[in-house]
Amino acid sequence: MMISSVSELLVSDKFLQEVQVKGWVRTFRSNRFIALNDGSTIKNIQCVVDFENTDENTLKRIATGAAVNIKGTLIESQGRGQTVEIQVSELEILGDSNPDEYPIQPKKHSMEFLRENAHLRVRTNTFSAVMRVRSALSFAVHKYFQENGFNYVNTPIVTGSDAEGAGEMFRVTTFEPNDAPTTEDGGVDYSQDFFGKETNLTVSGQLEAETFAMALGKVYTFGPTFRAENSNTTRHLAEFWMIEPEVAFCDLDGNMDLSEDFIKSVLAYVLEHCKDDLAFLEQRLTQEEKSKPQAERSEMTLIEKLHFVVDNNFKRVSYTEAIDILRNSKPNKKKKFQFPINEWGADLQSEHERYLVEKHFKCPVILFDYPANIKAFYMRLNDDGKTVRAMDVLFPGIGEIAGGSQREERYDVLLDKIKTMGIDEKELWWYLDLRKFGTAVHSGFGLGFERLVQFATGMGNIRDVIPFPRTPQNAEF
């Protein structure tokens, strides 16, 4: 007999037909009703066991977490809350789950406890919903770019360029910790290491992606990146997935358009394709927010927030305007910011970004034209000589979701910048070559995939939107 999925059966009208389904028991009540889940949907299918004709021992083994194979008749449900159910004729226990030992019981577990059981937490409603949305979002990412003429490029994970400057890096070496060859001045001699030079895990595929944009026109990366930053926040991971489009013949305005269109498109995709999961996550979030003081609760539900982003324009504001707004803001005047804003040139902290997005504009904001000296060397210098064509996309509840820029395409200006920032130009010979041979205006941005999943699912902590989070002091599983 063909095995059906729970999601198929729940919308099926093949009443009185024999069906077979395999899954895991979520609950078993009154010695009679199994709530069965197979991961195909957040919903369970009710399987009604004829307990009078089922042996005692089998009944005992129908426990939360057990894997079962069920054959039976699909019928219209008499009970409330479901339209169909299965009248079980044959039940086989495929894998037992001892209720005294199984950690995931049908009750509310803390997020912390579930992180410690990350190998099992995907069996809960919350995590299975998040992970299905994550999967749908990754598909939507590829769909968007593929349908818009972008080529997918796989940039290296192990990188030999240490000039990316996006964050602290993890070193890649085959040397034994206490037995590395040394140079004359006592340093480690990496010329004898596997790659013959210092290598690290990549913090961004941007520089390599630029080389491809200058041949294929429109490209994007979507892969893992690594940052050894010791920031224990709800928005930082040591290993995260980044999406980095890079487009030739595109200026900063085009880049802002792309980021906005892209984000709206992938969120619209999950609104359309993940209805059940989003409905569950919305109700979870609303419940969670009830424990917060009224003032901290959001005015919109999860699905309303997603629609709001999809249906409204992002507000585009220059860094200079933003500084004025912040300087004159209530929290700044009342000295409520941890980092007060006094003058032009200050780096914006997450508290400032969140004020702009959540309190002032109340919508996604794209900040652009930042001071040159707080941004990376490759961003295009404006004619004012002090700002660069950088942009950050800021989201409510998240802060920075994407950061990008128009790239400096002028050889001399770029070389100058590299030198004044004290970067070894020899390391960047290939990057500089792009400006020597057929240079052109080009732009791109990097968007943290997990921050996007956080926004789409309403999860407060980034550790809860990736299967096995890597954070300081934590690399279990």
Give the interface with ligand ATP as residue ranges (CB under 6 A).
166-167, 227, 229, 235-237, 240, 242, 400-403, 446-448, 450-451
Q: Which is nearer to ligand ATP, 65 or 205 (CB)?
A: 205
Q: Which is nearer to ligand ATP, 302 or 398 (CB)?
A: 398
Single-letter amino acid, residue 293: P
CB of 435: closest distance to ligand ATP in angstroms?
A: 22
Task: Using CB positions, name the residue nearest to ligand ATP.
Answer: 448
- Integer Rg of the chain from CA: 27
CB of 166: closest distance to ligand ATP in angstroms?
A: 4
CB of 387: closest distance to ligand ATP in angstroms?
A: 17
Q: Which is nearer to ligand ATP, 72 or 448 (CB)?
A: 448
Q: Which is nearer to ligand ATP, 123 or 417 (CB)?
A: 417
Q: Which is nearer to ligand ATP, 65 or 245 (CB)?
A: 245
Alpha helices in 297-374 (DSSP H): 302-311, 319-327, 330-333, 350-354
CB of 179: closest distance to ligand ATP in angstroms?
A: 32
CB of 404: closest distance to ligand ATP in angstroms?
A: 8
CB of 315: closest distance to ligand ATP in angstroms?
A: 17
CB of 164: closest distance to ligand ATP in angstroms?
A: 9
Distance CA 414, CA 433 (A): 11
Q: Which is nearer to ligand ATP, 72 or 245 (CB)?
A: 245
Q: Which is nearer to ligand ATP, 99 or 460 (CB)?
A: 460
Q: Which is nearer to ligand ATP, 229 or 253 (CB)?
A: 229
CB of 240: closest distance to ligand ATP in angstroms?
A: 4
Distance CA 393, CA 316 (A): 9
Strand 84-95 versus strand 158-159 pairing type: unpaired
Whether residue 400 contacts residue 353, with contact meaning beta carbons closer than 8 Å, is answered with yes
Distance CA 246, CA 220 (A): 6
CB of 87: closest distance to ligand ATP in angstroms?
A: 48
Burial of 334-355, coded b for 16+ CB within 10 Å and e otherwise, reads eeebeeebeeeebebeeebbbb
CB of 398: closest distance to ligand ATP in angstroms?
A: 8
Whether residue 86 contacts residue 46, with contact meaning beta carbons closer than 8 Å, is answered with yes
Q: Which is nearer to ligand ATP, 203 or 270 (CB)?
A: 203
CB of 343: closest distance to ligand ATP in angstroms?
A: 21
Whether residue 216 contacts residue 197, with contact meaning beta carbons closer than 8 Å, is answered with no
Q: Which is nearer to ligand ATP, 91 or 466 (CB)?
A: 466
Strand partners, 176: none
Distance CA 342, CA 327 (A): 6
Q: Which is nearer to ligand ATP, 227 or 435 (CB)?
A: 227
CB of 236: closest distance to ligand ATP in angstroms?
A: 4
Token code pair at residue 50: 């004829």
Whether residue 477 contacts residue 286, with contact meaning beta carbons closer than 8 Å, is answered with no
Distances (CA, A) of 259 to 137, 186, 226, 247, 331: 15, 47, 22, 12, 30
Strand partners, 86: 47, 74
Q: Which is nearer to ligand ATP, 221 or 332 (CB)?
A: 221
DSSP 251-299: -HHHHHHHHHHHHHHHHHHHHHH-HHHHHHHHHHHHHHHTTS-GGGS-S
Distance CA 445, CA 373 (A): 19
Single-letter amino acid, residue 163: A
∠ at Cα 461 (457, 465), nearest 5°?
50
N residues, the chain? 477
Token code pair at residue 301: 């539900």
Q: Which residues contact 51 (CB under 8 A, 6 or more apart)?
A: 31, 32, 59
Q: Which residues contact 382 (CB under 8 A, 6 or more apart)?
A: 369, 388, 389
